[in-house]
């Protein structure tokens, strides 16, 4: 059957579209699974889409103290989340035209810019809890940064480049998956994802317990379309991080190796399936552990940092 080939630019656009469209689905599936695990029926899997549609219809309320930054923050963040899928292997094994525009660090910077603009918008609201969330998010973001750097170092040592495509290719083509420094880097990155998506040992992502909130508190003052963009953005960030963990570190299989429509559609399905499976793991973790006290989070981050440093050290010993 000849179906022709999708041009690389088209695949690239599809990468972004997949992340944008599938992100609410993945978070919906996770909260549904969480509900089931807790003995509730859980929200509908498509609920996040309804929430977004509702929020986009509502009016935007702005506090008197805030300036244009308050409204620009969510838009900038959303734009950042649109850029990152260009840089990482979402659907393909081969690099796409803009795929080499930036490396892992570049993607990390864009994600950091998104986090920064949301925190800034929260701080700009003048509301105490949003400011608290913004300052906490920045603090813990700074503390997790060394871990991310060391994960990148490990990747760079293994592949002698820090392009995500290169590591994914290495994992696919060899017994790389059992190399200890790779395993450690993957574990460290898993912990980073746990922190960055505001999951249980660090933060309860549901509920309104302001004193324990970090990421969630930043958006307390936003409403209407701005809030919708923030929610959508955080779902996209979650899916982006899942995609990096899956398609770069753990299971880069099921990706399209050519532009044939069948392969690309298969890759979309595979990505969503794998992301939901990974989400189930996070849902189980959510139910198994309790939230750490705020001042104990540094210990968790220290553990993640330790694992990432070990990844680099073990690499040197293994290749000595």
Partner 1 sequence: MTAVPVPSTTAGVDEVVAVIVLLSEFAMLRAPLLRSQVRLYAFQSLAVVALAVVVAATRHVGDLYALAALSFVLKVVIVPAVMMRLLRGTDVDLTGSPVLGAATMTLIALGVTAFGFFAVGSLHVHSKLLPSAALAIAVAVVLVAFVLIVLRSDVVSQAMGFFSLENGVSVVSLVIAAGLPLVLEVAFLFDLLVAVVVFGIIMRVHHGRAKTLLTDDLDRLRG
Residues near partner 1 (CB under 8 A) are 157-161, 166, 169-170, 173-176, 178-180, 183-184, 298-299, 302-303, 305-307, 309-310, 313-314, 316-320
Tokens of 160: 């002698």
User: Cβ 248 to partner 1, closest distance in Å?
Assistant: 14
126: left (phi over 0), alpha (psi -120 to 50) or beta: left
Which letter does DSSP use for residue 248 in this model?
I
Question: Which residue lies nearer to partner 1 by CB, 26 or 167?
Answer: 167
Cβ partners under 8 Å of residue 148, min gap 6: 108, 189, 192, 308
Distances (CA, A) of 26 to 22, 35, 148: 6, 14, 24
Question: Which residue lies nearer to partner 1 by CB, 236 or 307?
Answer: 307
Could you tell me which of 140, 133, 187, 142 has the C-alpha nearest to residue 311? 187
Q: What angle, rounded to 10 degrees, do the helices at 180-196 and 224-244 form?
A: 170
With residues binned 3-state (H G I as helix, E B as strand, rest as coil), the percentages for the chain, rounded to 5, are 75, 0, 25
User: Cβ 174 to partner 1, closest distance in Å?
Assistant: 5
User: Cβ 259 to partner 1, closest distance in Å?
Assistant: 21
User: Cβ 95 to partner 1, closest distance in Å?
Assistant: 12
Compute the residue count for the chain.
320
Question: Which residue lies nearer to partner 1 by CB, 130 or 310?
Answer: 310
User: Cβ 150 to partner 1, closest distance in Å?
Assistant: 11
In three-state secondary structure terms, 287 is helix
Contact 247, 90 (CB under 8 A): yes
Question: Which residue lies nearer to partner 1 by CB, 185 or 228?
Answer: 185
Tokens of 99: 């795929």
Which letter does DSSP use for residue 250 in this model?
I
Tokens of 45: 């899997």
User: Cβ 170 to partner 1, closest distance in Å?
Assistant: 6
Question: Which residue lies nearer to partner 1 by CB, 106 or 306?
Answer: 306
User: Cβ 162 to partner 1, closest distance in Å?
Assistant: 12
Question: Which residue lies nearer to partner 1 by CB, 54 or 296?
Answer: 296
How many angstroms separate the CA atoms of 300 and 71, rounded?
33
**Residue 17: in which H helix or E strand, if any?**
helix 8-37
Contact 35, 43 (CB under 8 A): yes
Q: How many CA atoms lie within 13 A of 83 on its CB side?
A: 20
Question: Which residue lies nearer to partner 1 by CB, 273 or 318?
Answer: 318
User: Cβ 305 to partner 1, closest distance in Å?
Assistant: 8
Question: Which residue lies nearer to partner 1 by CB, 130 or 308?
Answer: 308
């Amino acid at each position: 059957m000849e179906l022709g080939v999708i041009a690389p630019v088209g695949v690239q656009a599809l990468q972004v579209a997949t992340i944008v469209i599938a992100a609410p689905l993945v978070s919906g599936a996770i909260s549904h699974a969480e509900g089931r695990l807790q003995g509730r029926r859980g929200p509908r899997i498509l609920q996040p889409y309804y929430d977004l549609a509702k929020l986009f219809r509502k009016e935007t309320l702005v506090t008197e103290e805030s300036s244009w930054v308050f409204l620009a923050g969510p838009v900038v963040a959303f734009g950042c989340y649109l850029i990152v899928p260009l840089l990482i292997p979402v659907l393909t094994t081969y690099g796409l035209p803009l795929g080499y525009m930036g490396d892992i660090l570049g993607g990390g910077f864009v994600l950091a810019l998104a986090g920064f603009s949301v925190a800034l918008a929260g701080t700009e609201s003048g509301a105490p809890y949003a400011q608290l969330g913004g300052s906490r998010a920045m603090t813990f973001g700074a503390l997790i940064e060394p871990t991310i750097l060391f994960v990148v170092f490990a990747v760079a040592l293994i592949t002698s480049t820090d392009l995500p495509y290169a590591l994914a290719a290495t994992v696919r083509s060899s017994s790389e998956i059992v190399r200890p420094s790779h395993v450690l880097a993957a574990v460290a990155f898993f912990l980073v994802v746990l922190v960055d998506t505001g999951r249980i040992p660090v933060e309860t992502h549901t509920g309104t317990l302001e004193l324990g909130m970090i990421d969630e508190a930043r958006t307390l003052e936003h409403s209407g379309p701005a809030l919708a963009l923030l929610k959508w953005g955080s779902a996209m960030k979650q899916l982006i991080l899942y995609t990096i963990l899956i398609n770069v570190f753990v299971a880069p299989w099921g990706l399209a190796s050519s532009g044939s429509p069948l392969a690309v559609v298969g890759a979309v399905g595979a990505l969503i399936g794998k992301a939901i499976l990974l989400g189930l793991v996070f849902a189980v973790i959510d139910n198994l552990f309790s939230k750490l006290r705020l001042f104990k989070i540094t210990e968790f981050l220290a553990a993640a940092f330790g694992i990432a440093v070990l990844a680099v050290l073990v690499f040197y010993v293994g290749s000595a």
